[in-house]
Amino acid sequence: MKIRTRLAIAFVTITVVPLCLFCISFVLLTNYQRASFNRTYELDEQIDPLSSNPVQLFDRMTRSDQEEIGRALEENPDRFADSKFLAGMNETLREKYTYLIVRRGGQIIYSGGNGEEQDLYFRLPDYEDGASESEGSIYLDGDTQHLVKQMNFRYGNGDEGSVFIVSSFRDYLPEVRSMMWEIFLSGVMILLFTGMVLIAWVYQSILKPLGQLQKATEEIKNGNLDFTMEIDTDDEIGQICQDFEEMRIRLKESTEEKMQNDDESRELLRNLSHDLKTPVTAIKGYAEGILDGVASSPEKLDKYIRTIYNKANDMDRLVDELTFYAKIDTNRIPYNFAKINVAEYFADCVEEVGLDLDANNIELGYFNYVDEDVTIIADAEQMKRVINNIISNSVKYLDKKKGIINIRIKDVGDFIQVEIEDNGRGISARDLPNIFDRFYRTDASRNSSKGGSGIGLSIVRKIIEDHGGKIWATSKEGIGTEIHFVLRKYQEVIYHEENTDH
């Protein structure tokens, strides 16, 4: 989820959601309070204590009490001179924020208020002769607002009597305020809950990934690349974390590759120093022999000079391999691709390497199974390097009295397959998958007289792969090794144009 979407959701969450929840809470609370209010005061008609007119509200709240008092007056008006009877009736009214005032003649004989209603006595309406109860209610304003219902009657001895049902707005307001406070507190709780949910969501989706990112930068700053960032979001921050994780992986790979390259470079220097030392020592020894007059005859002198020349060639080959290795390492191998006739090219290569193999008493067999017109696109010089490196490696590990190397060129559909087979000591199954790796040697001993930089076959693989081919090896210990590689044939694409008469 994008951060823009998250911000929109956050805006809705902090505004619309609380408002909706507050409205729902307000409706539920008011419905509950209304039901509770009507149930508490035993009202037949549903009344909302918050929105109803207070005069109308008290009138309805005390209507049943007024009817009860009316019946009591009809049955026995003299009971309204009994303070115990009046106190019991007043107790019921007090639950409705209402109390009784009874007047006999012009004197107040009972007041069920809290003692602060004396100023109300003088404002009570006079006795209305001929009326048993007043219609409606009388609203008395002032410091304390009261709603008064007056019921007139006569005692048994003929004295005028009035019963006043007095409702105090001041006593009723705290309950309304209490209900308002409940609604207010519910709104505050909704805001707090919404805020906590929003903060938790923001922390989980934004702050937590940023914390992981900060921790990751600290790890990298301290040189630790062996950790993994857990990415749970797909927004912009998640993408940054993903990019950061990819950067860490690449940085780790680059560091490991650099360490490996450093190790390989040190290995190369050790190999070259060892391999160069042998021909240098030989050249030095034979040159000293010539200077000291050891080569006394022309034949011996010619042998010394030829040996010096061969050792110099070995040194030149090693330097050439080192130069080519540097080009491989920087991906700057100079290729000159051209169309090459397979039969002619490999025949020339075999003829060239055959001279050196004859001198070393190694039999060379060449078998061409492709047509004379088959061609490939390749760099002639680099392909010759491939053949020479493979054969040199085979010669190095020949352990038979009569060495044999066979070269076969086969037609395999859209490809040609070159096989170079020897009858050397072979390669173990454990070593076979690694022979094309740089600096890999099947013989661990550097005291071997075989020499070599250890990059010959890795150069071969690089050249073949750059030609779009594939190389692999098969071997049996004690029998020999076969190197196989394939190259795609050159095929001309002919476009046929068809002319249609209209």
Distance CA 328, CA 334 (A): 10
Distance CA 104, CA 159 (A): 7
CATH number, domain of 392, equals: 3.30.565.10
Query: If you average pLDDT over residues 280-295, what whole number do you get?
Result: 84
Between strands 362-368 and 403-412, the pairing is parallel
Residue 243 lies in a domain: yes
Kindly state whether residues 447 and 348 are assigned to the same domain.
yes
Residue 451 lies in a domain: yes
Convert the pLDDT of each residue in 51-68 to its tens digit. 555 666 666 777 777 888
Per the prediction, the chain carries an average pLDDT of: 78
Kindly state whether residues 159 and 79 are assigned to the same domain.
yes
Distance CA 309, CA 8 (A): 82
Residue 17 lies in a domain: no
Residue 192 lies in a domain: no
Convert the pLDDT of each residue in 364-385 to its tens digit. 999 999 999 999 999 999 999 8
Q: Which residues of 174-200 are buried (b: 16+ CB within 10 A; e: fewer)?
A: eeeeebeeebeebbeebeeebeeebee
pTM of the model: 0.48
Query: If you average pLDDT over residues 339-358, what whole number do you get?
Result: 89
Say how many domains are in the chain: 3
| Residue that finishes a domain, picked among 169, 198, 220 | 169
| Residue keyed to tokens 């937590």 | 208
DSSP bridge partners of 340: 376
Residue 347 lies in a domain: yes
Query: If you average pLDDT over residues 222-247, what whole number do you get?
Result: 75
Kindly state whether residues 340 and 463 are assigned to the same domain.
yes
Distance CA 14, CA 12 (A): 6
Percent of the chain with pLDDT over 90: 17
The answer to whether the Cα torsion of 267, 273, 279, 282 is positive or negative is negative
Q: What is the domain extent for residue 386?
A: 333-488
| Residue that finishes a domain, picked among 326, 346, 362 | 326
* CA distances for 225 relative to 74, 219, 239, 262, 459, angstroms: 99, 7, 19, 19, 32
Kindly state whether residues 308 and 423 are assigned to the same domain.
no
| Residue that finishes a domain, picked among 310, 326, 342 | 326
Which alpha helices (DSSP H) does 292-341 contain, by range? 298-329
